[in-house]
Amino acid sequence: MGKTTAQKIFDTHRIDRPSEGIEVINLDAVFCHEITTPTAIVDLMERGKDRVFDPTKIKAVIDHVTPAKDSLTAMQGKVLREWAGRQNIKDFFDVGRNGVCHAIFPEKGFARPGYTIIMGDSHTCTHGAFGAFAAGVGTTDLEVGILKGICAFLSPETIRIKLTGKIPAGIYPKDIILHIIGSIGVNGATNHVIEFTGPVIDEMSMEGRMTVCNMAIEAGATCGICYPDMTTVDYLWPFISDDFSSKDEALNEYRKFVPDEDAVYAKDLDMDISELKPLVTYGYKPDLVKPAAELSGEKVDQVYIGSCTNGRIEDLREAAAVLKDKKIADSVRVVVSPATPDIYKQALKEGLVEIFMESGCCLTNPTCGACLGMSNGVLAEGEVCVSTTNRNFNGRMGKGGMVHLASPATAAASALTGTITTADQL
């Protein structure tokens, strides 16, 4: 019987089946940030187990609130920083060198085809874009990951979503993933891996694939996976060129993780995206999705462009293209957070930063801050935000605030009018 990508990865990492349907696998990487890891560190210390399984496989970053905004967040950074020093974790990204975890770790080449990765963060599914099995876990799983380099999962069952048709002009990976979540629902892939495949994915950049995989969790999925191909190899080449004599050789090796033709799927879905319109969410769940044009005219107080979903260079280009030589509406404020220092530098080089500033946007350092309502752009009660992030839960970006998830293009267009607007309505 053929195997899916996740099954193939599990086959090369399995160490135990403690019970029917449960597999314990070893891990190639454990990612850490300052919100969920300090609790794990403190708990391990209290248990007298302040050790790590392999400091070279642990990567850590301060990204959610950075620089620290108060004593509590300063303490979270301090606990993580001191632990990284004590445990000899070299890949620790402190203030100034830090960026949003799911943007900076791939950028450093830490996600590879066939890898198993966990992090105490639900959007860890982003790294599946590289053909890895990457899953968000809770603090206890993180503790065991740090201590033993292992994690337990349900035997992976997979839903395959084949995306066909031609991507219409003005439609972006964010619209595609919102469409998928709107179709299958917030619980549509619970306990499943999603494989995203088909010509639409084949043509997509790694940035776009990361946007799609990033929101797999919003349909309940454990991980979203794209198959490794030449796009993957090209992206990773600076980090793997010592390991392979050519890109073809690397691709050959990575093709091991492409599913067998007779792989068995829990569900097999085909979606043609040729007719897709720019989408937004309209409620407190990410599956409440509508064409943005249907909400057009609704007043917006803030626009946010950033996050692990849409804070990468392509996203900034997409937003800047809409904002170029124009001014944002007086009634609105726009916060732009490039997701990593390299993205920031690239945006400077390409003149995107100037476009944002000329149009009246506020640029912050790389951080998650606004995305989860902790800093750098928190909403007030009753305010409305069009945001390129991934969660519109009640209170997510600030108590009593309403979040409409959208693509960077739709977010930028809404900034110009101060109301929900698509780029083609301008």
Partner 1 sequence: MKNFSGKTLFLDRSDINTDEIIPAKYLTEITKKAMGPHLLEDLKMDGFDPEKDLEGISVIITKENFGCGSSREHAPWALEVNDINLVIAPNFARIFRQNMFNCGMMAVEIEESKVNEIFSKFANKETSITTDFDAKTFSINAEDLSLKLDFIISGFDEALVKAGGWVEYADGNY
Binding stretches for partner 1 (CB under 8 A): 15-16, 18-22, 24, 35-36, 38-39, 42-44, 47, 49, 64-65, 70, 72-73, 75-76, 79, 120-122, 136-141, 143-144, 147-148, 150, 152, 154, 186-187, 190-191, 220, 222, 285, 372-374, 391, 393-396, 399
| DSSP-derived secondary structure for 92-153 | EE-TTS---HHHHHHHTT---TT-EEEESSGGGGGGGGGT-EEEE--HHHHHHHHHHSEEEE
Answer whether 119's CB lies under 8 Å from 326's CB.
no
Q: Which amino acid is at 157?
A: E
Q: Quote the least distance from Cβ 139 to partner 1, whole Å.
A: 4
Which residue's CB is nearer to partner 1, number 41 or number 319?
Answer: 41
Answer whether 303's CB lies under 8 Å from 270's CB.
no
What spatial distance separates the first Cα and last Cα of the chain, rounded to whole Å?
Answer: 53
Binding of ligand SF4 at residue 407 (CB under 6 A)? Answer: no
User: In sequence order, what are the beta bridge partners of 151?
Assistant: 25
Which residue's CB is nearer to partner 1, number 13 or number 391?
Answer: 391
Binding of ligand SF4 at residue 231 (CB under 6 A)? Answer: no
| DSSP-derived secondary structure for 291-332 | EGGGGTT-B-SEEEE-HHHH-SHHHHHHHHHHHTT----TT-
Binding of ligand SF4 at residue 368 (CB under 6 A)? Answer: yes
Q: Quote the least distance from Cβ 307 to ligand SF4, whole Å.
A: 4
Q: Which of 175, 136, 144 is nearest to 309 (CA)?
A: 175
Contact track, ligand SF4, 39-68, x by CB under 6 A: -------------------------x----
Which residue's CB is nearer to partner 1, number 147 or number 321?
Answer: 147
Contact track, ligand SF4, 117-156, x by CB under 6 A: ----x-x---------------------------------
Q: Quote the least distance from Cβ 63 to ligand SF4, whole Å.
A: 6
Binding of ligand SF4 at residue 307 (CB under 6 A)? Answer: yes
Q: Quote the least distance from Cβ 396 to ligand SF4, whole Å.
A: 9
Burial 21-42 (b: 16+ CB within 10 A, else e): eebbbbbbbbbbbbbbbbbbbe
What are the counts of helices (DSSP H) followed by strands (DSSP E) for the chain? 15, 19
Largest alpha-carbon pair distance within the chain?
Answer: 61
Residue 141 contact partner, candidates partner 1, ligand SF4, none, CB within 5 to 8 A by sort of partner: partner 1
Q: Quote the least distance from Cβ 305 to partner 1, whole Å.
A: 20
- Beta pairing, strands 92-93 & 58-61: parallel
- Which one of 68-76, 169-177, 364-372, 409-417 is the stretch in contact with ligand SF4 (CB under 6 A)? 364-372
Residue 368 contact partner, candidates partner 1, ligand SF4, none, CB within 5 to 8 A by sort of partner: ligand SF4
Q: Quote the least distance from Cβ 218 to partner 1, whole Å.
A: 9
Q: Quote the least distance from Cβ 230 to ligand SF4, whole Å.
A: 28
Which residue's CB is nearer to partner 1, number 70 or number 261?
Answer: 70
What is the Cα–Cα distance from 191 to 154, expressed in whole angstroms? 8
Residue 289 contact partner, candidates partner 1, ligand SF4, none, CB within 5 to 8 A by sort of partner: none
Which residue's CB is nearer to ligand SF4, number 121 or number 318?
Answer: 121
Nearest residue (beta carbon) to ligand SF4? 368
* The CA-based dihedral angle spanning residues 32, 38, 39, 40, taken in that order and rounded to the nearest 10 degrees: 50
Answer whether 272's CB lies under 8 Å from 242's CB.
no
Positions 378 through 397 that interact with ligand SF4 (CB under 6 A): 389-390
Residue 390 contact partner, candidates ligand SF4, partner 1, none, CB within 5 to 8 A by sort of partner: ligand SF4
Residue 259 DSSP label: P
Answer whether 385's CB lies under 8 Å from 373's CB.
no
Residue 16 contact partner, candidates ligand SF4, partner 1, none, CB within 5 to 8 A by sort of partner: partner 1
Tokens of residue 312, six digits: 């990468």
Length of the chain: 426
Q: Site residues (CB under 6 A) for ligand SF4?
A: 64, 100-102, 121, 123, 307-308, 368, 371-372, 389-390
